[in-house]
Chain A
């Protein structure tokens, strides 16, 4: 069965631009969680969507937003990009939510570089 697919894998953007990242979960999974990973801060939770509704949100500014479609695919948008937004963005899918379970799987991530 196909895993979690994130596109694109790599992205370079300029400060002030906006970016949209995509995550296709494992078939049948209704939850998609997004994480930001940087060398200094480690992996930090952004938000989680379940059945098209945002269920939880981490401590990130409003420039970070997301949505989930009826087919469970999710997109994450970052507006007015800053240099500090350069990171690996990871999404995880699971049937019922969260990542603290054996059924949660992460994608390979999208590496965003802001110049």
Chain B
């Protein structure tokens, strides 16, 4: 399963755009890139998933370059409620569920 590397923490202010980049140099052909959000004392929540290029939903955008060795989660105009830990996962659960690793994620702190 592809190993991912993302910053341990990031700070931002309300109203700013936040971009969190994840490196996954060993991504496999079948792998998708999935981002999860976790608030304290809650389970993770699925945010967005993509395979290549750009994906956008009502919460975030996900940018994936052509080589797919990295991806960037973009949160537009963050608010205090976006303070959370964000996890980047790369994998294909059809074959690799037992190797799925969330890691320690990126702790985003949004200030007023």
Contacts and interface: CB of A to CB of B under 8 A. Distances in A.
B97 A45 contact: yes
A98 B64 CA distance: 23
Interface stretch (B9-17, B21-29, B65-73, B86-94): B86-94
A74 to B, nearest CB: 15
A48 interface: yes
Contact of A55 (B97, B99, B104): B97
Interface residues of B, number: 23
A62 interface: no
5 A-B pairs with the lowest CB-CB distances in the bound complex, closest first: A106-B43, A98-B93, A43-B102, A42-B104, A56-B97
Given A100-B49, A100-B91, 8 more contacts: A4-B43, A41-B104, A42-B105, A43-B87, A55-B97, A58-B98, A98-B93, A109-B42
B1 to A, nearest CB: 10
Contacts of B87: 42-43
B109 interface: no
Contacts of B32: 100
B76 interface: no
A90 B43 contact: yes
A100 B102 contact: no
Contacts of B93: 97-101
Contact of A43 (B45, B92, B103): B103
B44 A102 contact: no
Contacts of B102: 35, 37, 42-44
Residue of A4, A42, A48, A92 most packed against chain B (CB within 10 A)? A42
Given A100-B49, A100-B89, A100-B91, A45 B100 contact: yes
A63 interface: no
